[in-house]
Every structure is written in C-alpha cells, then in structure tokens.
Structure 1
Amino acid sequence: MRARTLLPATLAAALLTLTACGSGEGSTSGSGAGAAPTSEASSPAQPAASNGSGAEGAQVPKVLNFSATTVDGKPFDAKMLAGKPTVLWFWAPWCPTCKGQAAETAKVAADNAGKVNVVGVAGLDKNAAMRDFVADTGTGSFPHVSDENGEVWKRFEVTQQSHYVILDKTGKTVYEGVLPGGKGLADKVAGLTG
C-alpha cells in the first residue's frame, strides 16, 4: 500500500525538477557539449559540407541546420545565424524567472544588433501564450521560435526553461546555463564581439 502512495509523489517531484524555472548557475563548455543535434551526428562546431552557407556566405555548422516557425507564424531558418555569435534564450511563457530575464535579454539584443544574433526559443506551452509573453515583456525586437514540440530544445539538450545557450561565430557552445535576471549576459556577449 505504501508503494502506491510514494510512486505518485516521486513522479511529481521528478516532473517538477524537469520543468521548474531554472535556478542553477550555468556552465562553460569548450567542446560544444549540450548543443549536439539529436539525429544529425558529429560535432556541432564542425561545418556540414552540404548545408550551404548562412548569412554573408558563412559556412553553416550542423547545430544551426534546422528550421522552425516564429511565434508570429513566420518561417525561421537557423542557417541565417551562421557567421555571428548567437544567443539562444530558452523560455516558457508562465515562468517568472524568464520574465525577469526579458528586459536584459532585449537590451543585449538591441545593443548588439548586427553583431550578435539573439533568438528566443519558446516552449512548454501553446503558441498563443508565447505570443502574449513576447507582447507583455516587450521582447518583440528579436525573433522567437515557437517550439511547442520541443524539437529545438532537444537539439540543444535543454531540460529547463530560463536557460541560455551562447554560440560563438563558428557554432561552438561557449556558455550554457541560467543567468538570473539576465545578469552577466552582456559581459558574455561582449567577450565574443570585442
């Protein structure tokens, strides 16, 4: 009888751990770990010969060989991110930590326009809630991918919202983790542009 009452509690605790707003500090990764594509093998930092070129003729690393739809219904081709440092901000519309990161993420995007790509990757909810989040937080100045099925999250092995993945211009992961309130994001981006 006791096992029947413990099992639901254990499952609930595991789900909360996977979906709770991120609170851990990030990690720096020099090997591209955490950015490996799910089914397209090899190192994400290595360009894929058949991927063509991205923005300004840059070679496209495999990690950026995907397409999606933005929260406002426009097509999004990640190949166009190639050749510039990229900040991927994984968020959920109901997450208070994500809302706390919105202003700093938007400021970093505005301050580095043309030098750094900033892309929101919304998940863990429906697209209508994602659109409302973008409107409510004033983050509409940069694209937000609607990732209702979690495909982009899986590609970058993200398991919690309010998570940043920062890629250098070659597509190599140089940082991944939570930055409470977005604090430190500007410094990490400046290290890639300066």
Structure 2
Amino acid sequence: MRTRSVLSAALAAALLALAGCGANSGTGNETADTQSSGSSPTGLPPASPGAGSEETTEPEAPRPLRFTATTVDGKHFDGTTLAGRPTVLWFWAPWCPKCKAQASATSKVAADYAGRAHVVGVAGLDRNKAMKDFVADTRTSGFPHLSDENGKVWKRFEVTEQSRYVILDKDGKTVYEGVLPAGEGLAEKVSGLVG
C-alpha cells in the first residue's frame, strides 16, 4: 500500500511540475496553453494562416463592379476584374450610327491605355449576332464587349440610351457619364485618371 501512495505522490508531483512549465516563466519551455497568447514552443510568434503561401486576399471590389455577364463571344465576364484601374464602359447598339462613329476613338483608347485602364463595350438593344457583326465591322475586337441582350448591365449603370460612356475611377466611382460624339475627349478623360 505504501508503494502505491509513493507512486501517487510522485505522479502528482510530476504533474504539478509539468503544469508549472505551462506558465510563461520565460524559460522557453512554454506549452500549448501559452500558444494561444501569441507565442509558440520555439518562442517565436505563431505563423499566421496562409503564411508563406503565394495566395493573397484581394480587397473587395466596389459595388458597381460586382456583376457578371457574357461577352459577345460567349465567354464569362466578371466585373470585379475591373477593380483597381480606371474603367470605360461604352454602351452601344449595333444599328447605331453614333456608336459606329465612336468605335475608332474607343478602340484607340483601349490600345493606348492597355494595362493602365480598362475599356469594355456593353452592347444592347439587339441580338448577339448583330453585336458580333458590329465588333467585326468596326474592328473593335481588341477589348471585351458584353452581350447585354437582357439589359442587366445597362440597368445597373442606369443607361437608358445607346452611345453612352460611363467612366469609373480606380475605386469604381462614376466620374463621367454621357455622350462623346465620335469619341472626342475620351482619351483626355482617361489620361486624367491614369496620371
């Protein structure tokens, strides 16, 4: 019986000694109990989740850019990809002569500011075939064109007529909305946003 009580006392003493090691005594022998207070068994701060990974968290896109659509070529388009750069949304219709007159200047701005600003055509008021023909005829395939047959993107930006530009700054705030005959002045507006 005496052996059992000596073993019990020794076990209790060992457990108390281990518990003492759990207190942050500065000995470098911290246990898992102290890891929650910001240290680790190595004495270094614990790694943050995802530390060392290439993955970064992108800031949330501004509300106006949180939309999806389909391009005239049938590809998925996510408006959040426009976040962080100035964006020109060009609302056009395939049968509109004013829109055809804007095509060259709009295409030039898309090429001149590639990598610094986005240009996206938003086609509406007709069927996709006519939209594709317009892009081919006007040689504006150098930037994406959305097929907005149902008017979802037009409604989102409160556009009620074709031949309209909506220009957003890098934060997604509308800085210009209106008509620019033959695209005149578009380059200057974009230049002012990219610096």
Corresponding residue for residue 125 of structure 1: 126
Measured after TM superposition, the shift of residue 185 of structure 1 is 0.0
- Distance in 2 between the 1:149 and 1:59 partners? 26
Number of the residue aligned with 2:105: 104
Alignment of 1:159-178 (within 5 A): 159-178=160-179
Paired residue secondary structure (2:105):
helix
Contact 1:59-1:83 at 8 Å conserved across structures = no
How far does residue 58 in structure 1 lie from its aligned partner after superposition?
4.3
Cα-to-partner distance string for 1:117-167 (whole Å, 9 max, x where unaligned): 000000000000000000000000000000000000000000010000000
Amino acid at match of 2:173: K
| Deviation by residue 1:43-71 (Cα, 9 ceiling, x = unmatched) | xxxxxxxxxxxxx9343011100100000
1:1-194 to 2 correspondences below 5 Å:
57-194=58-195
Q: Corresponding residue for 1:26?
A: none
Structure 1: state its 5+ residue gaps.
1-55
Distance in 1 between residues matched to 2:84 and 2:114, nearest whole Å = 14
Q: TM-score, normalised by structure 1?
A: 0.71
Task: Look up the match of 2:9.
Answer: none
Aligned-residue CA RMSD in angstroms?
A: 1.0
For residue 99 of structure 2, what is the amino acid of its counterpart? C
Q: In the aligned structure 2, how far is the partner of 1:104 from the partner of 1:138?
A: 11
Give the unaligned 5+ runs of structure 2. 1-56
Q: Percent identity between the aligned chains?
A: 72
Runs of 4+ in 1 over 6 A off after TM superposition: none
Answer whether contact 1:165 1:173 (CA < 8 A) is retained: yes
Question: Residue 58 of structure 1 contacts residue 82 of structure 1 at CA under 8 Å; is this kept in 2?
Answer: no
Instruction: State how many pairs are aligned.
Output: 139
Q: Secondary structure at the match of 2:132?
A: helix
